[in-house]
Amino acid sequence: MSLEQWLIMVLLLLAGAASPGPSLALVSRTAIQGGVKVGLLASLGHGLAISIYAFIAVWVTAFSKSDLEQFSQIIHIIAVIFLCYLGTSMVAEGMKKKFKPAAFSENNKKAELQHQTRAFTSGFLIAFLNPKVALFFLAVFNTTIPQDITLATMWTIAFLAGLIDGGWYALVSSLVSLKVFRTILGTKTAELDIIFGTILVVAAISLITGMSELSGENGHHF
C-alpha cells in the first residue's frame, strides 16, 4: 500500500472512531460512574472488538464483500436485542437511583465492582454487535486496500484500527473522568443512566428501521 492510501485510511478510521453513537454513550457513562480505570477497560474491549472486526472485514473485502453484508444482516438482529437490553437496563437503574437513592447507596461498592467486571465485556460487545461497523469498514477498505494485499498488511490494518479506536475512547474516558466533570456529573448519575439508556434504545430502533429498509430494497429485486 502507498503512503497516500495509509494516510487516507488512518483519517477515515479516526473519523469513524470519533463519530458519536451508542459506543460513545456507553464508554462515557462507564468512565463517569466508574472512573478512568473502568473507562479504560471499556475502551480496551472496544478497541479489541474493532481490531477483530477490521481483520474480518479486510479479509472478506479482499475476496467477497457479499459475505460481510450477510454477516452484517445477522449482527443487526443480535445488536437490536443487545442494545434494547442494555438501554432498558440503564434506564431501569437510573429510575432506581432516582426514586430509591438510599437503597442504591448501600450497594455502592457492589455496583462499582460490577462496573469493573462488566466494563471490558460491554465495550467489546457494543462494538462487535454494531452492524454499522461492518458497513463502515466495507466503504473504507473498498477504496483503500489493493487487490494484492498481503496477510501481514491485513494484520497491520486490524492492529491500526483497534489502536486508533481504543486510543480515541481512552482519551474520552480520561477526559470525562476528570475531577471537574465527575464532580458535576457524579451527582447526576440517575439522569445520566436514563439519558444514555434512552440513546441506546433509540439506536436499537434506528437499526430496526434500517433492517426494514434493507428488507424493502431486497424485496424490490424479486
| CB burial readout 124-149, b (16+ within 10 A) else e | bbbbbbbbbbbebbbebbeebbeeeb
**CA 104, 121, 35, 201 torsion: positive or negative?**
negative
**CA 31, 32, 35, 38 torsion: positive or negative?**
negative
Burial of 159 (0-12, 13-18, 19+ CB in 10 A): middle
Contact 29, 122 (CB under 8 A): no
> pLDDT of the chain along its 222 residues, tens only?
778 778 888 888 888 888 877 888 888 888 887 788 889 999 999 999 999 988 888 887 776 655 555 656 666 677 677 678 777 877 777 677 666 654 444 455 555 556 667 889 889 988 888 777 877 887 778 777 777 788 888 899 999 999 999 999 999 999 888 876 666 665 666 676 777 778 777 877 776 776 555 445 444 433
- Grid coordinates representing 126 are 457494543
Residue identified by cell 437503574 is 93
The 3-state DSSP composition of the chain as helix, strand, coil percent (nearest 5) reads: 90, 0, 10
